[in-house]
Amino acid sequence: MQVDLRESWWIRDVEIPTRLVLAPMAGVSVQAFRRQGRRYGAGLVCSEMVSCAGLEHRNERTLGYLRVARDEHPLAIQIFGSEPTVMAEAAQMVVTAGADIVDINFGCPVRKVTKTGAGATLLDDPDRACAIVDAVAGAVDVPVSVKMRRGLEDGSRACLTVGPQLVAAGAATLTLHPRSARQMYTGEADHSLTAELVELVDVPVIASGDITSRGRAQAVLAATGAAAVMVGRAAQGNPWSLREIVDGAAAEPSREEVAAELIVFVRETVRELGERRAVGFLKKFYGWYLGRGRFPRPFKQELVQLESTEEVVTRLLAAAPRATELVERLEAELPDPADEILLDSMPISIYGGG
């Protein structure tokens, strides 16, 4: 049975306009990435992980100040930590910043997160996990979601035990990435677990993992009964993959389209992070955008060596001069930056992804 990916669905009282969710990815899901995802068909976009300790202490490990733009909604802001009270306070702060949903990370497999008792580790501590969800749900009026893995070890089925308990504690939706924390991103996502979880809970379940095409999205939705699919790595430097999944529009973008999207992404990232930080942050995106045979490999290597983003934009326009008109059109459609909500004291920390 074909699922209409353009059909809206609900997370409690928040309407999600399509059945495609753009994953929270550390070092990737900046505002420019989220806004682009919305333009290409993502019904819900998510911030990268925000450290509740960073919010509490305003420590120096920050990437900038939280920004929420008018065209990002509905938006989930993801927090991580291990102390219920601190997580509840962090949830209140991100709702003040403009989050429509507070997402809790119980999936991150990265050692510097798990060693603090946060991320995927909490799947082995269901009492604490439930206490966190209960505290967060009691602290905010918006829906609370939880993103989790199958468990810590290969073959674990912890998600099927913990998932219903998290719903009972107040989770309005669950996202399952059915790999173990040990697997990281290797092997295949076992969506038979997703199907089992759907049968166990009475809230929407989002299927995450290996969603790389419309065919794969349709197959996972049909096999699992999930409410939506979450796309992560497939969208890195490739927003056209989102459009293909939602609409079936499989046409490869022109060189001009690729250059225009990358130029807008570069400029928006500089506006968000500042030139100095953006120069290093953007390097990985050049390979993601310009790969897949879209541009010669030496061109990507040339961009990585440039010292300023202005030089990068100049070289892109030289390589695809007809992109200028597309850039102007895309930038004209962006909302005024003055519409953003800025919390000047709120740092964002990145420590890996889930």
Q: Which pLDDT tens digit goes with each residue over 235-244? A: 999 999 999 9
| Shared domain check, 154 and 110 | yes
- Helix, strand or coil, per DSSP, at residue 16: strand
**Range 49-72 burial, b when 16+ CB lie within 10 A, else e:** bbbbbbbbeeeeeebeebbbbeeb
Domain that holds residue 307: 255-321
Whether 108 is a known active-site residue: answer yes
- When mean pLDDT is compared over 54-68, 248-262, 308-322, the highest value belongs to 308-322
The whole-number pLDDT of residue 352 equals 35
| Shared domain check, 267 and 220 | no
Q: Whole-angstrom Cα distance, residue 328 to residue 52?
A: 38
Nearest to 208 by CA among 155, 349, 197, 200: 197
Q: Whole-angstrom Cα distance, residue 321 to residue 245?
A: 29
CATH code: domain of residue 68: 3.20.20.70
Query: Is the pLDDT confidence value at 340 over 80?
Result: no
| Shared domain check, 236 and 140 | yes
Contact yes or no for 272/241 (Cβ under 8 A): no
Contact yes or no for 46/22 (Cβ under 8 A): yes
Q: Is residue 48 part of a domain?
A: yes
Query: Is the pLDDT confidence value at 172 over 70?
Result: yes
> In total, how many domains does the chain have?
2
Confidence of residue 53 (pLDDT cuts 50, 70, 90): confident
Query: Is the pLDDT confidence value at 112 over 70?
Result: yes
Strand-pairing partners, residue 104, are 79, 146
Q: Is residue 14 part of a domain?
A: yes
Q: Is residue 352 part of a domain?
A: no
| Shared domain check, 133 and 70 | yes
| Shared domain check, 59 and 19 | yes
Cβ neighbours of residue 163 under 8 Å, at least 6 residues apart?
148, 174, 176, 197, 200, 201
Q: Which residue did the predictor score with more confidence, 45 or 113?
A: 45
Instruction: Evaluate the CA torsion angle 301, 306, 307, 312 in order and state its sign.
Output: negative
Q: Is residue 333 part of a domain?
A: no
Confidence of residue 339 (pLDDT cuts 50, 70, 90): low
DSSP string, 245-258: HHH---PPPPHHHH
- Helix, strand or coil, per DSSP, at residue 148: strand
- Helix, strand or coil, per DSSP, at residue 298: helix
What is the percentage of the chain residues whose pLDDT exceeds 70?
92
Q: Is residue 195 part of a domain?
A: yes
| Shared domain check, 34 and 158 | yes
| Shared domain check, 270 and 172 | no
| Shared domain check, 84 and 62 | yes
**Token output for 259:** 């250059």
| Shared domain check, 235 and 135 | yes
Q: Which helix (H) or strand (E) holds 138?
A: helix 126-139
Q: Is residue 1 part of a domain?
A: no
Q: Is residue 353 part of a domain?
A: no
| Shared domain check, 191 and 161 | yes
Query: Is the pLDDT confidence value at 11 over 90?
Result: yes
Q: What is the mean pLDDT of residues 267-282?
A: 93
| Shared domain check, 261 and 236 | no
Contact yes or no for 82/128 (Cβ under 8 A): yes
- When mean pLDDT is compared over 26-40, 56-70, 102-116, the highest value belongs to 26-40
Q: Whole-angstrom Cα distance, residue 93 to residue 73?
A: 17
Annotated catalytic residue: which of 52, 108, 130, 159? Answer: 108
- Helix, strand or coil, per DSSP, at residue 13: coil
Query: Is the pLDDT confidence value at 71 over 50?
Result: yes
Q: Is residue 330 part of a domain?
A: no
Please, what is the average pLDDT of the chain? 90
| Shared domain check, 177 and 46 | yes
